[in-house]
Amino acid sequence: MQYIANGPDIPEALLEAHEDGNVVFFCGAGISYPAKLPTFSGLVQAVYKEHGLERSDAEAEAFKSYKYDTTLGLLEQRLANGRLRVREAIAKTLRPNLAGKKSTQTHEALLRLSKTRSGATRLITTNFDRVFEEVIEKQKFDTPTHAAPLLPVPKNRWDGLIYLHGLLDGTGSETNLNSLVATSGDFGLAYLIERWAARFVSELFRNYTVCFVGYSINDPILRYMMDALAADSMMGENTPAAYAFGNYSRGKKDQTETEWATKNVVPILYKNHSHHYYLHETLHAWANSYRDGVNGKSAIVARHAYHKPNRSTIQDDFVKRMVWALSDPTGLPAKHFSQLDPVPPIEWLAEFSKRRFGIADLPRFGVPKSNFFSTSDNREFKFSLLSRPAPSHLAPQMSLVDLKDRHDSDWDNVMNALAKWLAKHLERTETLFWVVGQGSNLIPRFERHLKKALEDATQLSPNMRKLWEFVVSGYARSRQDNGGLHRWEDRFKKYGNTSVVRQEFKDALRPSLKISRPYSFRTNSSSDKSKRISSIANVEVALASGFVHSAYERIRKIEQFEAFLAHILTDMSELLSETLGLMCEAEISSELEDYSYI
């Protein structure tokens, strides 16, 4: 989902994991760019500039290969008292400029995003700078902090902001500077020898969905963490998916996506523009929406409800934002949508009917994935906002209309709200043809919504009202029971002329109507269109059972059938009268023309 036009498309699986409190944001140097702080490569260059040195051949080769930690390690070895001097230069370089209006916007956004609904903060940074500390103090956030190597165990009780590679405490003390993980030697100690950082990262990946923010694809820090993850995978550990925000240059999106995928992370890509504008603005918008909770989703609904869905683009996919907001399990955004005045356009119906969801989306609707066996068929299983599985695997599909039969459906708040919205569009032929196209077997709750809407609809044209009355009364059918009379034949032979068998025969021959789009729209005046049902829809009479003629040819040869007909003569007369009356109401026949010539 995109939070801003042209912004990165955040996978809905990540959004859902975040809503559930299972996401940990892992922040790199890129988030501090608005505070005028450098990336890792920029930091290395600043250290050399501080000492007035050029890179040696070995250092230049390491730097060219994106091995910035190795570059600093080589410089540290070359300088007298190099360890302290390199770190002092790092501390001097990492003094933020907080004068800019948006200098701390991204840090504040990440602090808000990292706070779970239960109040725990789960945020990690590999930066040394104190921008997060400035924001925490200024905004009076109650956020515990932990600096390496004293780290908590990243499990359920973990709460706080973790400086995985250390934090500059502002004193400039040698002890503090020595605690920073900056050079290849420091990384080797933390990830390979003592392994305290590797253990932390491994435990983190096992328990949470990780989202990297502010790292370049060649960042050595990212390499160390992904190596730790790869080691776990080789040991058979199952870990949740990891995501990473990354930018791409014009024409190189596919290439960049492939490069990220080789690191075993799902890339969330945005195009290069003005110092990572789309990244920072997306995080800001996401944090605001998350902070506002369900009200944030209702705001998305209010912002886009009156837009025509066909104007949604890849660059600004507001349809995906709407569907995501409307599927909130509280049903409040959907309720807000249904109560808007004027009513949001019927064009949204096509989007709500698209089978855009799969098994991975089931938890969003309160449906356990365990309800679906892992088969090739189920992996291809798709459902829509208006027709989807119910939380209980024993319950029927949750829908408004059913193709096969009429059954009650235990709706959730989302379905109930969307049903109310749709019932407000009785004047639109799109609604009528959608209902009959879905099968016309109204779920009882939706039938009640439609009947109530019919009672309240004072401006509905007489012909539209008549067509809707056909639907809610059960006369409208989109399909016949092709085996109805054939099954009846077997039962008649077995049980003979009983009351139940007679009723089943009547049911098989009960009249119904097939309602479909007209073959062509008339060009007559609007007054003519209001007089004829055929100007709105094509209506044909049909029987509940199909292939009646062929079935009857066999049935009438049964020895007992002639006596059976004598018992149901009155019933057949009533059915014929009902059929002719229905044909007159549907304007299929009149006092001037009917089917009596056949």
- 442 and 560 share a domain? no
User: What pLDDT, on a 0 to 100 scale, did the predictor assign at position 528?
Assistant: 44
Cβ atoms 320, 352 nearer than 8 A? no
- 236 and 300 share a domain? no
- 208 and 347 share a domain? no
Per-residue pLDDT of the chain (598 residues; tens, 9 = 90+): 999 999 999 998 999 999 999 999 999 999 999 999 999 999 999 999 999 999 999 999 999 999 999 999 999 999 999 999 999 999 999 999 999 889 999 999 999 999 999 999 999 999 999 999 999 999 999 999 999 988 888 887 889 999 999 999 989 899 999 999 999 999 999 988 999 998 899 889 888 999 999 999 888 888 887 777 776 666 666 778 899 999 999 999 999 999 998 888 999 999 998 889 999 999 999 999 999 989 999 999 999 999 999 999 988 999 999 999 999 999 999 999 999 999 999 999 999 999 999 888 888 888 887 776 555 556 678 999 999 998 887 678 899 998 666 666 789 999 999 999 999 999 999 999 999 999 878 999 999 999 999 999 999 999 999 999 999 998 988 676 767 888 899 999 999 999 999 999 999 999 999 999 987 654 443 444 457 898 899 999 988 888 888 888 999 999 899 999 999 999 999 999 999 999 999 988 876 666 665 5
CA 444 vs CA 203, 362, 407, 410, 419: distances in Å: 50, 25, 7, 10, 12
Q: How many CB atoms lie within 10 A of CB 183?
A: 23
User: What pLDDT, on a 0 to 100 scale, did the predictor assign at position 377?
Assistant: 54
Does residue 323 lie in a domain region?
yes
Cβ atoms 512, 546 nearer than 8 A? no
Does residue 4 lie in a domain region?
no
Burial of 495 (0-12, 13-18, 19+ CB in 10 A): exposed
Does residue 239 lie in a domain region?
yes
User: What pLDDT, on a 0 to 100 scale, did the predictor assign at position 514?
Assistant: 92
* Boundary-marking domain end, from 266, 288, 310: 288
- 53 and 29 share a domain? no
Does residue 594 lie in a domain region?
no
The secondary structure of residue 545, as a DSSP letter, is B
Interatomic CA distance for residues 251 and 255, integer angstroms = 9
CA 361 vs CA 17, 86, 319, 367, 383: distances in Å: 11, 49, 17, 9, 9
Cis preceding linkage at 34, omega within 30:
no
Interatomic CA distance for residues 427 and 468, integer angstroms = 10
The secondary structure of residue 543, as a DSSP letter, is E
Cβ atoms 385, 323 nearer than 8 A? yes
Q: Give me the helices (H) in 367-483, please.
A: 376-379, 413-423, 429-437, 444-456, 462-473
- 417 and 434 share a domain? yes
Read off the CATH number of the domain in which 201 is found.
Answer: 3.40.50.1220
CA 275 vs CA 35, 47, 108, 254: distances in Å: 12, 22, 18, 21
* Boundary-marking domain end, from 433, 454, 475: 454
* Boundary-marking domain end, from 235, 258, 288: 288
Interatomic CA distance for residues 29 and 25, integer angstroms = 13
Dihedral sign, CA of 278, 280, 285, 286?
positive
**DSSP E strands: which ranges in 355-400?**
387-388, 398-399
Dihedral sign, CA of 460, 466, 470, 476?
negative
- 112 and 257 share a domain? yes
Only one residue has tokens 């730790």, namely 228
Cβ atoms 476, 513 nearer than 8 A? yes
- 47 and 126 share a domain? no
- 42 and 32 share a domain? no
User: What pLDDT, on a 0 to 100 scale, did the predictor assign at position 525?
Assistant: 39
User: What pLDDT, on a 0 to 100 scale, did the predictor assign at position 240?
Assistant: 82
Does residue 446 lie in a domain region?
yes
What's the pTM value of the predicted model, to 2 decimals? 0.81
- 446 and 305 share a domain? yes
User: Comparing C-alpha atoms, which of 138, 157, 29, 145 is closest to residue 94?
Assistant: 29
Dihedral sign, CA of 564, 569, 575, 579?
positive
- The whole domain housing 435 covers 294-454
- 222 and 187 share a domain? yes
Does residue 130 lie in a domain region?
yes
The tally of domains found in the chain comes to 4
For 408, half-sphere exposure in the C-beta direction (CA atoms, 13 angstrom radius) is 3
Does residue 2 lie in a domain region?
no
- 167 and 316 share a domain? no
Interatomic CA distance for residues 420 and 429, integer angstroms = 17
Only one residue has tokens 């029971």, namely 481
Structure tokens at 296: 């944030």
- 149 and 171 share a domain? yes
User: What pLDDT, on a 0 to 100 scale, did the predictor assign at position 402?
Assistant: 84
User: What pLDDT, on a 0 to 100 scale, did the predictor assign at position 527?
Assistant: 44
Does residue 467 lie in a domain region?
no
